[in-house]
Amino acid sequence: MDIKNYMTELGEKARSASRTMARADTVAKNAALLHIADAIIAAQDTLIAENAKDLEQGKKDGLDDALLDRLELNAERIAGMAEGLRQIAALPDPVGEISDLNYRPSGIQVGKMRVPLGVIGIIYESRPNVTADAAALCLKSGNAAILRGGSEAKYSNQAIAETIRAGLEKAGLSQDAVQVIATTDRAAVGELITMTQYVDVIVPRGGKGLIERVSAEAKVPVIKHLHGVCHVFIDAAADLDKAVAIAFNAKCHRYGVCNAMETLLVDAAVAAEVLPRLQAEYATENVELRGCSRTRDILPGINVASDEDWDEEYLAPILSIRVLDGLDDAIEHLHVHSSGHTESIVTEDYSRARRFLAEVDSSSVMVNTSTRFADGFEYGLGAEIGISTDKIHVRGPVGLEGLTSQKYIVLGDGHVRS
Amino acid sequence: MDIKNYMTELGEKARSASRTMARADTVAKNAALLHIADAIIAAQDTLIAENAKDLEQGKKDGLDDALLDRLELNAERIAGMAEGLRQIAALPDPVGEISDLNYRPSGIQVGKMRVPLGVIGIIYESRPNVTADAAALCLKSGNAAILRGGSEAKYSNQAIAETIRAGLEKAGLSQDAVQVIATTDRAAVGELITMTQYVDVIVPRGGKGLIERVSAEAKVPVIKHLHGVCHVFIDAAADLDKAVAIAFNAKCHRYGVCNAMETLLVDAAVAAEVLPRLQAEYATENVELRGCSRTRDILPGINVASDEDWDEEYLAPILSIRVLDGLDDAIEHLHVHSSGHTESIVTEDYSRARRFLAEVDSSSVMVNTSTRFADGFEYGLGAEIGISTDKIHVRGPVGLEGLTSQKYIVLGDGHVRS
């Protein structure tokens, strides 16, 4: 197979389909999503059979149990995929929204119209349900999609792609609106992320290694979510009951998620009072604590936090703790060590809350809440294709709106410039 | 000079200054802009003397008269620079604006806060006034800037940089908030556009060659303005008086600008009536017409438009004209040949106006107005750093808001996730 020709053909089809998707009305897009949901349910036996091939190959290749679990499709997960499609059908259509339409002194009327980005390339790992999920978000936002799933899920992904094509056809939309790359050759990714004439944005969903590789080589703009080294800062004026509840929830609600707290910063003024209380709480969940020297003066038994700990995304029941003096030192620590994902201050002090909100340069900045709220569903986006730690285009949880852009529209009545 | 070390030092200083700029209040930023304006006026003699060195070198290097004219600073242009700074001081501060702050079912309050991008790299050619102009836009939007002007304006640019530093100091802001690269070594540009740890976005301002080179090599995201192949489409239902006025204004109001019309599309139903009228108008300005065969059936004397003409940005009194059948063919022509800048339809037909607005994929889409209105000042942005023909981040005229991003803010009262 000539990968370059193959990808060029995919790109041309996607560009062409993106024109028809951009003008597809809400009725047609929702119909397609509901037809795909039905097709997924109807294809349950096929999906499970194709998925079994992936699982068998995965076992041969020595994938660990966690990976095999993520790879597996069963009746419940298939029903979940269909339900996800129906939920996206129920969301408002972002395309065509006109805002800020005002008359200018010249007499023209100028406003903005929300429009699809065009063609979105999505590169993801293992979980086959992403195929349906990502396709649905792209379709609803009026985009065409080129999807590249993990090679370990190739049979599953192609089987899901069939249901998507069937649903698109039934709704009278182009079957090329969602294409799943059929080859597992890595050169296909290299083409996808450099075909600037056919692809408008790349969304990588996966581990840090994948995202760094894609970012380094891409010529197409990338909406990236690198990693989440999230912090809670317990200020001198914190309500310590809230502080304990938030710091416990941010660490222990779930470990393997990007919005879990990895480092706790504590103002020295309250450290001696709050740290022993927190230690007792964390002990109930067997969280390993690693502290700076000032932390260990208060909690002598805990491990030492090394320099590397301040930049580590543990995704595990481990927490590094640093005691410091006041808000300025906390903000300085964040400038050096935060990954720009989510940080929260616990304080009752008005001015420091206001400063923290203004000065901390992360995609989500919080006061008196758990970092675990940084999530598209919690924020009311209705869906999420990822969380952007970039500053350009879109920051934080990315929903349908993040897959659109705004163009200017100008209405006149024969107006010319003088 | 070790370019890599030099640029790294600039980058570190800019990153550090961007922290202080991000928290500088409106009072301080406006004070800096007004102090810079005063410093520019006070330094008039120095600026003219340094500019004379550039002009002398330019003459030696054989720059043509147009380039030398663009390079020249005189009392009037220096006053214009200062006035531009005062106008930017008078604009509303985009930073800190909070929008969409709403309660969620969990009890948290979620909204968006507008924040600076961080460090902006601007690469531009010849005109030294861009140094003051670009610096002012970056400062007002709370960003730090690294500026790289054309080597032909090096003395002028460094003299202007001195006035900027003086103004920043007087306002109590970091002098590193605006740095003008002191070397004319091209390797400095290579560093600037790949220092992703220090630079958040690159804005190239110049010819197509510069922008293509920057885009091809950049690792930092680029807000690019490639070129403007703008179109007017005269629909079958056009009011022909409006059509003639708009098509004449779009071509002849100014030639060397990106929002001038380069190709006129005419529905065959009205071509025989409108084209002779337009030919008479264009003759008064000696505009060269190049037509497709159907155009030349109506205007037999004009030149032939070759295939290349449909993609040409003339920036000159030349116009290519194509006669076609209906809106679909016009939209198809635009998909192939438009540069995504600005297109206008002239029509009294409601449904076709609506379709044109929705389906044409350009940064500005217009009904019954001249393409010459595609401009930050005409749109009410108050200032313009360029016109983006990209789809990501910002499209169309880029003002202060285009140099900012939005982060999420979350307010709670001890909320944790259950």
Residues on chain A touching B216 (C-beta within 8 angstroms): 219
What pLDDT is attached to residue B271?
98
Q: Smallest CA–CA separation between A107 and chain B, in Å?
A: 10
**Same domain, yes or no, for B184 and B243?**
no
Q: What integer is the mean pLDDT of B100-122? A: 97
B45 pLDDT higher than 80:
yes
**CATH number of the domain to which A257 belongs:** 3.40.309.10
Q: State the pLDDT confidence band at B235, using cuts at 50, 70 and 90.
A: very high
Residue A143 included in any domain: yes
Residue with tokens 């205007």: B299
Q: Locate the chain A residue with the closest alpha carbon to B406.
A: A395
When computed from its CA atoms, the radius of gyration of chain B, rounded to whole angstroms, is 24
Residue B259 reports pLDDT greater than 90: yes
Interface of B with A in 159-218 (CB under 8 A): 200-201, 216
Q: Kindly list the residues from chain B whose CB atom is less than 8 angstroms away from the CB atom of residue A106.
A: 373, 378
Residues B243 and B114 occupy one common structural domain: no
B187 in the same domain as B248? no
Asked if this assembly's ipTM is beyond 0.85, the reply is yes
Q: Cα(B10)–Cα(B148) distance, rounded to whole angstroms?
A: 12
* Residue B371 pLDDT exceeds 90: yes
pLDDT at residue B207 is higher than 90: no
A46 and A124 together in one domain: yes
Secondary structure class of B247 (helix, strand, coil)? helix
Q: Do B407 and A364 touch (CB under 8 A)?
A: yes
- If you measure CA to CA, which chain B residue comes closest to A418? B253
pLDDT in the model for residue B25: 95
Q: For chain A, how many structural domains are there in total? A: 2
Q: Which chain B residues have a beta carbon less than 8 Å from that of A113?
A: 357-358, 365
C-alpha dihedral sign at B305, B306, B310, B315 = negative
Would the CB atoms of A358 and B96 count as touching at under 8 Å?
yes
Mean pLDDT for each consecutive 10-residue tract of chain A (418 residues)? 94 96 96 98 98 96 92 96 96 96 97 97 90 96 96 95 97 97 93 96 88 90 88 98 98 95 98 98 98 98 97 96 98 96 98 96 97 95 88 92 96 96
Pick from B19, B245, B358: CB nearest A96: B358
Question: Tokens representing A359?
Answer: 């000065």
Residue of chain B whose Cα is closest to the Cα of A340: B407
Q: Please indicate, yes or no, if residue A293 is contained in any of the structural domains.
A: yes
Same domain, B243 and B197: no
Q: Which of B196, B173, B240, B226 is nearest to B342 (CA)?
A: B226
Q: A385, A273 in Cβ contact below 8 A?
A: no
The boundaries of the domain holding residue B321 are 230-373
Helix axes B240-252 and B268-283, enclosed angle (nearest 10): 50
Contact residues, chain A, for B393 at CB < 8 Å: 392-393
Tell whether the model's pLDDT for residue B34 goes beyond 90.
yes
pLDDT digits (tens, 9 = 90+) for A148-190: 999 999 999 999 999 999 999 999 999 999 999 999 899 999 9
For residue B166, being part of any structural domain is answered with yes
Helix (H, G, I), strand (E, B) or coil at B255: coil
Q: Which helix (H) or strand (E) holds B286?
A: none
Say which amino acid occupies B47.
L
Closest by CA position to B160, among listed B137, B142, B178, B184: B178
Task: Tell whether A294 and A341 lie within a shared domain.
Answer: yes
Whether residue A369 lies within 8 A of chain B, CB to CB, comes out as yes
| Same domain membership, residue A44 and residue A71 | yes
| Chain B contact present for A244, CB below 8 A | no
Q: Is residue B415 part of a domain?
A: no
User: A212 and A132 share a domain?
Assistant: yes
Q: Does A384 reside within a domain?
A: no
Contact A369 B411 (CB under 8 A): yes
Which one of B196, B378, B408, B411 would you mutate to disrupt binding with A, by most A Cβ within 10 Å of its Cβ?
Answer: B408
The model's pTM is 0.93
Distance from the A40 Cα atom to the nearest Cα atom in chain B, whole angstroms? 31
User: Is B55 within the bounds of a domain?
Assistant: yes
Domain co-membership, A127 together with A276: no
Contact residues, A window 32-51, toward B, CB-based 8 Å cutoff: none
Mean pLDDT (whole number) for B256-260: 93
B336 touches chain A (CB under 8 A): no
Same domain as A274, residue A313: yes
Answer yes or no: is B304 within a domain: yes
Of A355, A395, A416, the CB nearest to B406: A395
CA dihedral B101, B102, B105, B109 (to 10 degrees): 40
Dump the DSSP string for B171-226: TT--GGGEEE-----THHHHHHTT-TTT-SEEEEES-HHHHHHHHHH-SS-B----
Question: Nearest CB to B393: which of A249, A250, A392?
Answer: A392
Q: Is A368 on the interface with B (CB under 8 A)?
A: yes
From A23's Cα to the closest Cα of chain B, the distance in A is 6
pLDDT tens track for B276-305? 999 999 999 999 999 999 999 999 999 999
**With an 8 Å Cβ cutoff, are A361 and B96 in contact?**
no
Instruction: Identify whether A207 is part of a domain.
Output: yes
* Residue in chain A nearest B389 by alpha carbon: A407
Does the distance separating the beta carbons of B393 and A358 come in below 8 Å?
no
Chain A residues inside the 8 Å CB shell of B245? 414, 416
**What is the reported pLDDT for B192?**
97
Distance from CA of B51 to the nearest CA of A (A): 33
Whether residues B205 and B316 fall in one domain: no
Chain A residues with CB under 8 Å of B221 CB are 221, 390, 392
Q: Do B80 and B40 fall into the same domain? A: yes
CATH of the domain at A180: 3.40.605.10
